[in-house]
Chain A
Amino acid sequence: MPTLVSLLLLLLLAPAVAAGPLDAPGATSALACSACHGLGGQSPSNTMPIIAGITPWYFKKAIQDYAAGKRPSPEMEPYAKMVVQFGVDEIAAYFAGQPRTPSSVKLDAAAVERGRAAAAQCTVCHGVSGKGDASKSVPDLTGQPPGYLRNQMLLFKSDRRSPGDDTLKAVKALMKTIPDEQFADLAAYWSSVR
């Protein structure tokens, strides 16, 4: 009966509660986020960004700007205040530690190719890889849902994302040079990059 004995031993040695996905520090504080951003920040939708694996500086800047009303969003402003209430550092660390999978939103192959041809203008800041540069406060574009990326480009172009934020001058100036119809192509391309 060695199998039974080892099974009993395993049961005896096992902790009362196996560490599950809700046992990580910050996991329960972050539960309100999963309705839109998915379990662990892995958004399944086209318009909600994936925040699994997000670098803490970018998460914290977004939350602080939303909470202060600097980055206008009727959806995120109240939730950002909630995140601040429950502890932005812990929640930032939680999402940073979550495994990130690229968006599952289906992409139009032709749009991806058109976007690839036009993507050089983005790489000046975001790098050839599109992964960004934390030391320069430049975020990772890759694998995000295309709807989210396109919406952000439109918001930058019309200066409705964080109006008056000096750190975003360059990206807003660039967006003004790009025709609206090219945003979907660029979004599809960066969404496709792994």
Chain B
Amino acid sequence: MSHWTRRHFLGTSGIGLGLLAAGCAPTVSDFAQKSGRRVVVIGGGWGGATAAKYVRLADPSIEVVLLEPNKEFVSCPFSNLVLSGVRSIDSISFGYGGLRARGVRVLHEAATAIEPDARRVKVGDGYIQYDRLIVSPGVEFQWEQVEGLAAAQDRVLHAWKAGPQTVALAKQLQSMADGGVFVLTIPPAAYRCPPGPYERACQVAWYLQTNKPKSKLIVLDANPNVISKTGLFRAAWTKYPNLEYRGSNKVVKVDPGVREVTTELGDKVKYDVVNLIPPQRAGTIVVSADLVGADKRWCEVNHLTYESVKHKNVHVIGDSTTGLPVPKSGNIANAMGKICAVAVTRMLNDKPVPAMAPGNTCYSWVSDREAIAVVNSYKIDGDKVVQIEQKLTPGQSEAWAQNAVGWATSIWQDILG
């Protein structure tokens, strides 16, 4: 185990807490005027935190302000292991001390509006000006697409943004009586983390098999078939006779009163615990800032700089983007964060932007100790990102799981350290 543990992150972030205690916590008013060049980053997840760090690495003379309402970064990758009890939420939660140590000014506030013409971001009652803005808002849920969901958000959990909902869903699973039915519903693509729901199915099925052998998992997938690592997941599921998969079963209604979901075809499925992953679009701030395309869901960007095709000086990275042949994954968001950071600093210095392409390494845990993976590499062809190759592991193994742990250890540091 590396010394780069959660303790290290929190230990470093303790400096920040000390400043808070001393009354030195930054506020919006501290950022009202800018003296030098400033990059503002909205969102401290896999894309935004990486971008904030790498702008500072690429050009320490640029001020970087990171707007992230959450005090802790909780990793979506590996969070399905919290549902099965294989890992704790603490083991995937980290502070922002590493970024502060690199000179990133982290402000735990939410940006509520972008004004591209005025080059400023609204935060609370104030504004923060920028020279260039990097927006990495992740996904927002389309609650309205499932009847009854908006009013039942406290009971019908998504756990698709790692954090309190992950812990709450794990508790619901643990509290379910042996013999109960757990229903997992998957939205139509595109959504965050294509293999994530199928990995979750493995983790829930493994947990039930181990702890509640009379129980059953029903997976209702809006897509006609498993959309990622199909053969590998199908092979893994042969070990879980308690898992019933139904493709082309889009859930359109939930009724928590009678504990029932309804599919587009009119089938009604009873549950004891439901995990309803809603349909998704880009984060609200980029929708209201008119950064999304005609589909009103995702943002189109320049493939070399991630600058929005709709507004100058505004760059969008991570799950909110569309048009690149890449999955909505944490590794891709991390890669976009680095590429965008270099592009932004070069543009601010009137220098040419190098051609850089993202890569994607994506592990999925199919039990408590075995994993599978898919890896994609890309190149720049003309001015577009093009895939070079996709490779899958030939099967599942403990060795891939060890590599998954190695990957997570490294990339968490690449984002936050």
Contacts and interface: CB of A to CB of B under 8 A. Distances in A.
A109 to B, nearest CB: 15
Given A17-B61, A28-B342, A36-B411, A47 B403 contact: yes
Contacts of A17: 59, 61, 345, 349, 351
A23 B346 CA distance: 10
B242 to A, nearest CB: 29
B391 A48 contact: no
B230 interface: no
A75 B375 contact: yes
Nearest to A37: B410
Contacts of A85: 379, 388
Nearest to B417: A44
A105 B1 contact: yes
Interface stretch (A76-84, A114-122, A128-136): A76-84
Contact of B406 (A18, A36, A79, A82): A36
Given A31-B338, A43-B410, A106 B1 contact: yes
Interface in B333-388: 334-335, 338-339, 342, 345, 349, 351, 354, 356-359, 361, 373, 375-379, 388
A70 to B, nearest CB: 15
Interface stretch (B131-139, B156-164, B167-175, B392-400): B392-400
Contacts of A36: 361, 406-407, 410-411
Contacts of A81: 377, 388-389
Contact of B357 (A18, A32, A38): A32
B390 A78 contact: yes
A91 to B, nearest CB: 12
B402 interface: yes
A44 B331 CA distance: 17
A77 B331 CA distance: 17
A98 interface: no
Contacts of A78: 359, 375-377, 388-391
Given A32-B357, A32-B359, A82 B57 contact: no
A46 B413 CA distance: 13
Contact of A16 (B349, B358, B379): B349
A20 B4 contact: no
Contacts, number: 138
A179 interface: no
A23 B345 CA distance: 11
A46 B4 CA distance: 11
B57 A32 contact: no
Contacts of A64: none
A37 to B, nearest CB: 7
A45 B373 contact: no
A131 to B, nearest CB: 24
Contacts of B393: 74
A168 B80 CA distance: 40
A29 B335 CA distance: 12
How many chain B residues sit at the interface, stated as a range, is 35 or more
B414 interface: yes
Contact of A151 (B378, B390, B399, B411): B399
B410 A82 contact: no
Contact of A34 (B338, B356, B376, B391): B338
Contacts of B338: 31-32, 34
B2 interface: yes
A82 B373 contact: no
B262 interface: no
Given A20-B59, A22-B54, A31 B339 contact: yes
B349 A77 contact: no
A47 B405 contact: yes
A21 interface: yes
Interface in A9-64: 16-18, 20-23, 28-29, 31-32, 34-39, 43-48
Of A29, A75, A151, which is in contact with the most chain B CB atoms at under 10 Å from its CB?
A75
B103 to A, nearest CB: 12
Contacts of B342: 22, 28, 31
B232 to A, nearest CB: 11
B402 A82 contact: no
Nearest to B342: A28
A85 B379 CA distance: 7
A97 interface: no
Contacts of B61: 17-18
A162 interface: no
A34 B342 CA distance: 14
B305 to A, nearest CB: 13
Interface string B26-66: 00000000000000000000000000001001111100000
Given A31-B335, A86-B379, 9 more contacts: A29-B356, A35-B334, A35-B335, A35-B407, A46-B402, A77-B389, A85-B388, A105-B1, A105-B3
- Nearest first, the 10 closest Cβ-Cβ pairs linking A and B are A47-B406, A78-B377, A45-B409, A45-B406, A82-B377, A74-B391, A32-B359, A78-B389, A44-B4, A45-B410
26 contacts: A18-B60, A22-B54, A23-B58, A31-B356, A32-B358, A32-B377, A35-B414, A38-B413, A38-B414, A44-B413, A45-B406, A46-B1, A46-B409, A47-B402, A47-B403, A48-B407, A74-B393, A77-B375, A78-B389, A78-B390, A79-B359, A82-B378, A104-B4, A105-B3, A106-B1, A106-B3
